Structure 1
Amino acid sequence: MALMPKRSRYRKSFRGRVKGFATRGNRVSFGEYGLQALDAGWITGRQIEAGRIAANRACGGVAKIWIRVFPHKPISAKPAETRMGKGKGDVDYWAAVVKPGTILFELGGVPEEKARLAFKRVAHKMPIKVKLVRRLATH
């Protein structure tokens, strides 16, 4: 089942635009390794779920996986070959709004090679460029 909110205040939202870099959610907080977004964009609930499954399979179910993004934004669409007018389309899917620097996934409890392989599999599922980052050493 694709991720989506249990309930939302408004049924439909404006598209908006993604400006600037992430100031929150841009550090590896839970695991040892993170997958960081390099581009701005929307990531659908299905893409997040596909990434989770890919990471789980690559690690053999040993690693602890944290998903750091959630699809809160309803994206509406009108059917193909529909005339203009008649209002805004129905909600088609839900998306997470991602800024450059946002940590999408985190992994813990596996060696770096395994984390690198897992995140490579996840990167193929993502619609934006991503990179692997390590947790900063705490003093």
Structure 2
Amino acid sequence: MALMPKRVKHRKSQRGRIKGKAQRGNRVVFGDYGLQALQGGWIKATTIESGRIAAQQYIRGEGRLYIRVFPHKSVTSRPLETRMGKGKGEPDHWVAVVREGTILFELNGVTEQQAKLCFARLAHKMPVRVRMVRRRPA
């Protein structure tokens, strides 16, 4: 089941634009290793879910996976072959708005080699370029 908010203030949102680097959510906090976005973009709820499944299948219960992004934004679409006018389309799917530097996923309780392989599988599914980062010493 793909992620989506329980309720929102407005059903339809404007597109907006993604500028600058992430001010928050750009450090590894919960795990030892993180997957960091190197460019901004939208990540669909189904993409986040497919990444979660790929990572869970790889770590097989010996580590813990943390998902650091949530799809709050609705994306609308009009039916195919519809004439212009008649307003904005209905909400089609949900996306997480990701800025450059945002940590998308974190892993805990696995070796660095396992984390590298797991994040390599995740990186193939992501629509933005990503890299693996280590937790900074406190």
Instruction: Give TM class, smaller chain.
Output: over 0.9
Alignment of 1:1-139 (within 5 A): 1-138=1-138
Whole-Å Cα distance in 1 between the matches of residues 124 and 61 of structure 2?
A: 19
Task: Output the CA distance in 2 between the equivalents of 1:30 and 1:53.
Answer: 19
Q: Which runs of 4+ in 1 moved over 6 A?
A: none
- Matched AA of 1:102: T
Which stretch shows the higher mean deviation, 53-62 or 124-133? Answer: 53-62
CA distance in 1, matches of 2:47, 2:90: 20
Q: What amino acid is aligned across from residue 38 of structure 2 in structure 1? A: L
User: Where does structure 1 lack aligned partners over 5 or more consecutive residues?
Assistant: none
CA RMSD after TM alignment:
0.6
1:6 alignment partner AA:
K
Q: 2: distance between equivalents of 1:62 and 1:10? A: 40
Question: What are structure 2's unaligned runs of at least 5 residues?
Answer: none
Q: TM (normalized to structure 1)?
A: 0.98
TM-score when scaled to structure 2?
A: 0.98
Q: CA deviation at 1:61?
A: 2.2
SS at 1:21 equivalent? coil
Letter in 2 for 1:118: C
Distance across 2 between alignment mates of 1:30 and 1:36: 14
**Number of aligned residue pairs:** 138
Partner amino acid, structure 1, of 2:42 = W
